[in-house]
Structure 1
Amino acid sequence: MRVMLVGSGELSRELVLAFQRLGAEVVAVDRYADAPAHDVADEALVVKITDPEELTAAIARVEPAYVVVDTNAVAIDALRAAADGGTTQVVPGVYATQLSLDREGMRRLAADELGLPTAPFWFAGSVEELTAVAEHAGFPLVVKPVIGVPGQGQSVLLRPEDVEPAWQRAVAAGGRVPHNRVLAETVVEIDYAVTLLTVRTDGPAGPALHFCEPIGHRQLDGGVLESWQPQEMTVAALGAAKSVAARIVRALGGRGVFGVELLVRGDEVYFSDVSVRPYDSGLVTLRTQRLSEFELHARAVLGLPVDTIMISPGAAEVTYGGADESANTPEINPVLLAEALVVPESDVRLLGRHDGSARSRLGVALATGSDVTTARDRVRQVSAVLHRVWQP
């Protein structure tokens, strides 16, 4: 059972291990040598994964049973050719992968085709168009790149002077996938934002959906993403959230873990975005669930049974660094590491910069507790110590 993992970043390591524990042979592929997942995979390949011919040739050479996409930059034509060949399954699916690289297409599907509630939104293809949108919509205004993972390259505009910097930040977020369009949306008043991890599997009775407990999250100052599970929701809001998630995931098709991003105010739920692979806000599941988001993804890909049982409330903080901060993996001070881990029910993941991207994960602080409040307090203590490792 051979799995070809296209994309070998920091989080891909966890995915490789999840597949290997289920008996799969994993070939990790990325555009540069010594990518994080290359260290743990059974075989590592360096391939320009945005080049259709190179990626097609690599798939033909490896002959995997499954091609699993774990990157936001990939040659869709190569995936389509592999899927059409009939011997390789592409996960989460060609259509889902294609839309995950195109926030405009995803938003059109959600709002125009499925009729899901969203914040008012517009698309702009230049600074001038974005300026016109801002003049029409008013401030504050959220601007996001049309490609990339949720949160990356995002800005909140408060005044006309913010338009050009927001444009530059959004188009730069594409990295090795150039683009010149952005999504702008009105800032709606919300109580909280959640990720609803939704697992789509193929069972004896056909496709089935499984929902994890909702994950609350917020972006903190200084490049930190805080998340916690479970996020308390009203019965009506949770029902609406599951309905929105089910509709978008069924429309995307395929199988695996889908991170559906939602905005909630009272009982009202708005669709925001969706990731078609495990990602940052779901890292809290490494400690809160019997099966983490990575293990759920691996099981769903391989057609194995899943469960979304939460075993403890918990919290996580992911810290990011820019080019200067994360150019090299810092030397870990064992005294500081011990100070971080003395916090009850705590754990850490220390990561290094490998791919030269402008925004890289430095590490993850994790903690559980009898309730979310306790877990969040503990994870802040752990994260505060880790910051002294990265910024002595």
Structure 2
Amino acid sequence: MSESTEGDAQTDPGESTSPPQRSTVMLLGSGELSRELALAFQRLGADVIAVDRYADAPAHGVADRSAVVKMTDAEELTALIGKEKPRYVVTEAGLIAADALIAVAERGDVEVFPTPRSTRLSVDREGLRRLAANELGLPTAPFWFAGSVEELTAVAQHAGYPLVVKPIAAAPGEGESVLVRPEDVEPAWQRAVAAGRIPHNRVMAESVVEVDVEVTLLTVRTTGPTGPAVHFCEPIGHRQADGNVLESWQPQQLSPAALGIAKSIAARIVNSLGGRGVFGVELLVRGDEVYFDNVRPRPYDSGLVTLRSQRLSEFELHARAILGLSVDTIMISPAAAEVTYAAAEAATAESAVDTTAALADALAVAESDVRLFGRPDESETRRRLGVALATAPDPIVARDRARRVSAALRRLW
């Protein structure tokens, strides 16, 4: 019998001694939500490179590596991807050089999610709405586009009042106005074209549709041996409580007919966009009627409720789908969330409030949880200050609890 001493260990010729290969994920956009996504990828064994246009972005603090580049510069972005050679490039911001993403995706050695087309349409309300209504035939509120005050005036005269005017690319609610008389047209135009990070001299005008609830249907698109598949989370109701608070809750009950239509709309738009990951399909619901409103090809604020409502949060679902792993959309408890915002340019005020005391009051609420965002997030026009979360036996109680948690946290701001 042979003996081996320390330093002379025998190795099976068929056994590899190298460590298992880890997938490398490059996140383009490193804000607060990217921070959660980076952690989700790392828990699945991936190395994460967090990229943004400014230093010390929130996700930079948890990523394996970080980089600062001008993400709208195709040459600079292509050079970084060529240097790092990630397995996956995951876009978490809208302002990305689309040409660079297309070139990388066409090479075939790097997978890009969402698809470059999805990334472009996420900041192009006109292109997305024309895809949904004109190409896919999805039901939408009546809409028009205008490229001047004169064109918007003509639209208002044709469509009648009230009329909602929205920027082509901006955060939800930002730059929006409701026209109720002709004198509102020019101020609404100025407000819309000034909103967002991308200057546009076009706006969208939309007829006001009376609805019961606004819903986000988180839709997860995966691919496997049998081809693409879509999975649906329970519907999430949401509303802009005021300019600085977004309230969401899960589940939002829909009629069987409305739920079926909602899933059909979500599947059609998501399959048209392609790729893998989480898509937040935003819908307007009135009784059994459902209208397509928007789609976000990545985790977003209305889905933060899944941090407590589901077995897998929207971030974990996104990471699993992109890595080609199995997903489930099991809801474990009704829950609610409130996200509080401040303007991106607002300075963080020195507060005399005892943070520990405010947290103690917030977390004294039954089944509550919080997320505080301490660092500025320059990737968004509205900076997230924190998220109040709560679970309960039903969404009504959960919403009440989340409001009480949010009220306690508001003392910090």
Q: What is the TM-score with the length of structure 1 in the denominator? A: 0.96
Tell me, yes or no, if the aligned pair for 1:328 and 1:353 is still in contact at 8 Å.
Answer: no
Picking from 234, 250, 275, the partner of 1:213 is: 234
Tell me, yes or no, if the aligned pair for 2:171 and 2:381 is still in contact at 8 Å.
Answer: no
Question: CA offsets per residue over residues 220-251 of structure 1, 9 Å max, x none?
Answer: 12411100000010000000000011111111
Question: CA offsets per residue over residues 60-112 of structure 1, 9 Å max, x none?
Answer: 11100000000011000000111111110000112222222211111111100
Tell me, yes or no, if the aligned pair for 1:7 and 1:70 is still in contact at 8 Å.
Answer: yes
Partner residue, 1:199: 220
Q: Distance in 1 between matches of 2:234 and 2:128?
A: 24
Picking from 129, 134, 137, the partner of 1:107 is: 129
The reply on whether 1:388 has 2:383 as its aligned counterpart is: no
Q: Distance in 2 between matches of 1:305 and 1:326?
A: 42
Taking structure 1 as reference, are residues 326 and 367 closer, same or farther at Cα in structure 2, changes over 3 Å only? Answer: farther
Tell me, yes or no, if the aligned pair for 2:28 and 2:71 is still in contact at 8 Å.
Answer: yes
Tell me, yes or no, if the aligned pair for 1:329 and 1:353 is still in contact at 8 Å.
Answer: no
Tell me, yes or no, if the aligned pair for 2:278 and 2:299 is still in contact at 8 Å.
Answer: yes
Structure 2 stretches lacking a partner, 5+ long: 1-22
Q: Distance in 2 between matches of 1:263 and 1:311?
A: 25
The one-letter amino acid paired with 1:300 is A
Identity of matched residues, %: 70
The reply on whether 1:46 has 2:68 as its aligned counterpart is: yes
Q: Secondary structure at the match of 1:311?
A: coil
Q: Secondary structure at the match of 2:252?
A: coil
Q: Which segment drifts farther, 134-143 or 362-371?
A: 134-143
Picking from 111, 121, 138, the partner of 1:116 is: 138
The one-letter amino acid paired with 1:67 is V
Partner residue, 1:4: 26
Picking from 301, 304, 319, the partner of 2:325 is: 304
Q: Distance in 2 between matches of 1:329 and 1:78?
A: 41
Question: CA offsets per residue over residues 150-182 of structure 1, 9 Å max, x none?
Answer: 43333322333333333233223321x222211
The reply on whether 1:35 has 2:57 as its aligned counterpart is: yes
Taking structure 1 as reference, are residues 64 and 357 closer, same or farther at Cα in structure 2, changes over 3 Å only? Answer: closer
Partner residue, 2:401: 378
Partner residue, 1:316: 337
Q: Secondary structure at the match of 1:11?
A: helix
Q: Secondary structure at the match of 2:32?
A: coil
The reply on whether 1:56 has 2:54 as its aligned counterpart is: no
Q: How far did 1:206 drift?
A: 0.7
Partner residue, 2:161: 139
Partner residue, 2:366: 344
Tell me, yes or no, if the aligned pair for 1:30 and 1:47 is still in contact at 8 Å.
Answer: yes
Tell me, yes or no, if the aligned pair for 1:110 and 1:116 is still in contact at 8 Å.
Answer: yes
The reply on whether 1:76 has 2:98 as its aligned counterpart is: yes
Q: How far did 1:200 drift?
A: 0.2
Question: CA offsets per residue over residues 187-217 of structure 1, 9 Å max, x none?
Answer: 0111111000000001221100000000001
Q: Secondary structure at the match of 1:152?
A: coil
Structure 1 stretches lacking a partner, 5+ long: none
The reply on whether 1:164 has 2:186 as its aligned counterpart is: yes
Q: Which segment drifts farther, 316-325 or 68-77?
A: 316-325
- Aligned positions of 1:265-344 closer than 5 A: 265-323=286-344, 325-327=346-348, 333-344=355-366
Tell me, yes or no, if the aligned pair for 2:94 and 2:120 is still in contact at 8 Å.
Answer: no
**Dislocated runs of 4+, deviation >2 Å:** 148-174, 323-332
Taking structure 1 as reference, are residues 252 and 354 closer, same or farther at Cα in structure 2, changes over 3 Å only? Answer: closer
How many aligned residue pairs are there?
389
Tell me, yes or no, if the aligned pair for 2:52 and 2:71 is still in contact at 8 Å.
Answer: yes
Tell me, yes or no, if the aligned pair for 2:31 and 2:379 is still in contact at 8 Å.
Answer: no
Q: Distance in 1 between matches of 2:362 and 2:290?
A: 37
Picking from 27, 37, 44, the partner of 1:15 is: 37
Partner residue, 2:9: none
Q: Distance in 1 between matches of 2:292 and 2:245?
A: 23
Q: What is the TM-score with the length of structure 2 in the denominator? A: 0.91
Q: Distance in 2 between matches of 1:14 and 1:151?
A: 24
Q: How far did 1:304 drift?
A: 0.4
The one-letter amino acid paired with 2:204 is L
Tell me, yes or no, if the aligned pair for 1:150 and 1:275 is still in contact at 8 Å.
Answer: no
The reply on whether 1:237 has 2:279 as its aligned counterpart is: no
Over alpha carbons, which structure has the higher Rg? Answer: 2
The reply on whether 1:225 has 2:250 as its aligned counterpart is: no
Q: Distance in 1 between matches of 2:271 and 2:349?
A: 41
Question: CA offsets per residue over residues 311-363 of structure 1, 9 Å max, x none?
Answer: 00000011111246454686762111110110011111111323185421111
Partner residue, 2:176: 154
